[in-house]
Structure 1
Amino acid sequence: MDIRMTPLEVARALQSAMERGLMGSEDTSLIIYDLDRLRSRLQEARQAFPEGTLHAVAVKANPLPAVLRRLADEHPCIGAEAASLPELELALGAGFGPERILFDSPAKTHAELRLALERGIVLNADNFQELERMAGLLGGASIGAAKLHGGIGLRVNPQVGAGAIATTSVAGQYSKFGVPVSECRDEILAAFERYSWLTGLHSHVGSQGCSLEQLCAGVRTLLDLAEEINSRLPERIRLLDIGGGLPATYRDSEPKSSLMDYAQALRQRCPELWSGRYRIATEFGRAIHANAAFAAARVEYVKTQAGVVTAVTHLGADMFLRKCYNPGDWHHDVLAVDGSGQIKAGEAVVQTIAGPLCFQGDLPARDVSLPLLEQGDAVCFRDVGAYTLSMWSRYNSRQMPAVLGMTRSEEGPRFTILRARESVEQVLRFWE
């Protein structure tokens, strides 16, 4: 199975959904999630990394409960990484046991820490002050034994350099996350000597704009620190959370490394990960979800102004926030289909795809060459499984589209509704 859904796969899936009445007249847009591709990516992760690795998929990448439940049911080594209290509850509600959840928020409150400790959820502290809070909470009789059920690690910044996208790079000399290794090595070592319940280390280099070399360098730095701590405090570090960040492929002309490629690179640079001395955790989000979904938006109007052909559709910065605000760093290939879901034929014309929101930058695709779009056609955006719907904007109070899950069978694609189209009443309740 290809990493990406091909244009033909996208069109056939949309056409099948339309034929089954799953994109009705009220559905101005629709998302279809390839559940077989999701499963394939999860299997690849399990095969690539050491046996027993906890693959805690980032909830922020795709927080749909119906998708999270499928992750929880897939395998005991598939977990969830949560960065807020609601994400934590989403993971628990989906069926992940506490030992399969990593809680990584850099701004955890006393109440959130107490909850996580009481439930035995694996925690990564962001800084020394948070460790002090945990020490106070663990001194209480009610949760004094919580460390036996979960685990507590410290997030460090490996300081291996920023990637190509500054806003998603977190391992430069400065980062809002974690404790810098080069500046605070002595303090880090002292923290492990002070807190006997501190048994893990965590780092993350960045997302999408980071090279394989940078990711491996970050893990190597983390591993060297773990080895130093264990030389002083034998077998203290038991869990190494190496984060996520593996880029996903958004253009066929720019293929990215696979999960297997990353694991093979780590085997060469960090063979100790396969020694059995550590339990490994990952936090992939984009690499698991991104290529497993596409979105279709109906074309409402097509107009020409100042020589620019503009197709006005029903998805824009409400779903493609990063793409619209920072188009130089983020990309989605687009595909033109007709009203029945078939790929449009005809001479390519340079066009701009506009979203429905009330600001000029609401342009999810600029100057793209497609067969001339018309009213009633649709534009399909590829590779939307991660950091799209999860970043939905409430600007203009537009309704979230329906999300379908697709699996394959000998009879053709089968669909389930993962999330129904949001009603106007639900949007009103949100603001109330």
Structure 2
Amino acid sequence: MSSQSLHDCLRGRCLGVLRRMEIIGRFRYYFQHPWSRLLVSYLVTFFNFLIFAEDPVSHSQKEAHMSVVGNCFSFIISKYPAGFWSVLKVLLWVLAIICGLIAGKFIFHRRLFGRVLRLKMFREDHGSWMTMFFSTILSLFIFSHIYNLLLLMSVRMRPYMVTEYMGIRNESFMKMAAVGTWMGDFVTAWMVTDMMLQDTHYPDWGRTARHLWRQGHNRIVLFWTVLICLTSVVVLVISTDWIRWDNLNRGFLPSDEVSRAFLASFILVFDLLIVMQDWEFPHFMGDLDMNLPGLSTTQLKIRLPVCKRIFKEEYHIHITGKWFNYGIIFLVLILDLNMWKNQIFYKPYEYGQYVGPGEKIYTVEDPDTLQDFNRSMLTWEWRSTNIDPRTNQTFNQSNAI
């Protein structure tokens, strides 16, 4: 090969590399542009409201169940027996929390993520609280099964066994989940907005808005004002059914399990995109610090009481803005995963519902009667032809659409 051809080959390769770098640079520019980040973060909030309104599980009167998290909820909150077993249950879940925190800090965060995998985003103590939270959920799940094994010693304790059933109705749980996702999504969107208006990666974007945002305490006042006002309205609307989506929609946007599953998938993808659009993703090694929402500081430090006879060092809780933000995203992700699972495996009978004329979902409003009905009795044909002796009307006349 002549020197000229070798030179042309190297030149072509260099140009190819430069073109790829230019394409990647342009993609990152638009992918991480403030408008793109704001659009994704606020669309997640809208989509979560939409799927809550369209999801028939939100009207179900049957007992709510959720894998893993339901076990933890049942373990700590509900199904308490009397006497010794109640004390044992409390001791076990307290021990589970302690073991989960220790395992999350020293095994998962420090050893697995820090030393074995060497993930830069988990350097030093970064992300330790989120790791400890998820390890605590895992620990509670394991200890709940240990508690169930102990309950097998007594036949009378079988009704108190911890399962994924949470002891509350799907309707109530979905309302709490909707408020929780609203809080998580709004705080995340607001923190993204806050970061866009504080940073200078895109100096030509939103100059006027940035100038107003940085003046005095405008950012803090706006955050708490909007948060309190909108949250009050959201909680009022969700908890009281003041606005019913079916009355507003009137079949304009009908949905089925497939469309709702796709919508839930979009929500999950957008949750991940919020993290991926960060300018410092995936290592988060930059010097940019985000102010915590509604505060003028980038981090919170809480000193823990020190007993020098036991501990030689002074310990404190340290939460940075970014991990506070993305920690909320991962909490919301749990609820969104549950919503996604509900849409994929949705069967009306399992939620005390059935399909009626026009492919509409009907919900049995009386939860006490659901335990007496089998699958064949939760059909339109049966409920429209059989009389309820308590009301002298067909069963379907007392059901909600």
Could you tell me the TM-score, scaled by structure 1's length?
0.22
Q: Which has the higher strand share?
A: 1
Could you tell me the TM-score, scaled by structure 2's length?
0.24
Structure showing greater Rg? 2
Higher RCO (CA < 8 A, seq sep 6+): 2
